[in-house]
Amino acid sequence: MSELVIKNLFVSVEGVEILKGIDLTIKSGEVHAIMGPNGTGKSTLSYALMGHPSYEVTGGEVYLDEKNVLEMDADARSHLGLFLAFQYPVAVPGVSVANFLRTALNAHRKAQNPEDKGISIPDFRKLLRERMQLLEMDPSFAGRYLNDGFSGGEKKRVEILQMATLDPKFAILDETDSGLDIDALQIVADGVNAIQGSERGILIITHYQRILNYIKPHYVHVMLDGRIVESSGPELALRLEEEGYEWIRNKHDA
């Protein structure tokens, strides 16, 4: 069993403190959801965990299987088993989805074993075909340039395709539900559920409860003003959907 441990994490952006002491532990097989209004630091947490250079960690610790994540570059964190699905995936004209995924997968394999020669083209095609079928993606996507001209739903499905291909220990989904219609949301959620299993931990960052209708969390946390102020089971998300965040603000301002 793997474990991602975040202890008293403080993060600043351009000198402004955004995260003010985050404590969170996620184990293999667990699904955690972090909810909260805009500007509370949810996406800051995801970028800081992956090592975005604009997000300065000013205090605290992050360990994945007892290895200090904060001492690693972003690619080393990925090789260790962290994955981030972006809220706004970037287009990369000139690089096909298939080439991007095979290059990323081979980099992961080589990081685990420097003698690894990489996955063969036939084996990779088989793997990619299986993963694309899981996400109900047209096989022609493999030859298209990464996210170039893709709809919002297509971009999010490609993010989950990356997750399915790289098989991380812990996946962070940063507002993956943003901009999706109900059909695209269902397909993305089905893909996440199909590959989640007992060996992978998932952190879902979202404003809304609706994605949690499809990806059932074990734990729900509420973030306000850079802190996790409330944690409970999935029933907390339902209450937030009905009552909003004001009751939590009032509770913690009292």
Task: Extract the runs of DSSP E, i.e. beta strands, from the chain.
Answer: 3-13, 16-27, 31-35, 55-64, 67-68, 82-85, 92-96, 145-146, 170-174, 201-206, 219-224, 227-232
What is the rounded distance in angstroms from the CA atom of residue 42 to the CA atom of residue 35?
8
Q: What is the pLDDT of residue 244?
A: 85
Q: What is the pLDDT of residue 198?
A: 66
Give residue-wise pLDDT tens across range 161-197: 999 999 999 999 998 887 777 888 888 888 888 877 7
Q: Where are the domains of the chain?
A: 3-253
Q: Which residue has the tokens 């409860």?
A: 209
Tell me the pLDDT band of 134, cut-offs 50, 70 and 90.
Answer: confident
Give residue-wise pLDDT tens across range 76-106: 999 999 999 988 888 899 999 999 999 999 9
**Which tokens is 43 given?**
């996406």
Nearest to 173 by CA among 42, 25, 38: 42
Query: pTM of the entire structure?
Result: 0.92
Q: What is the DSSP letter of 51?
A: T
Domain 3-253 top-level CATH class: alpha beta
Q: Is the dihedral of CA 37, 234, 162, 118 positive or negative?
A: positive
Specify whether the CB–CB gap between 52 and 223 falls below 8 A: no
The gap from C-alpha 165 to its chain's centroid, in whole angstroms, comes to: 14
User: Count of residues for the chain?
Assistant: 254
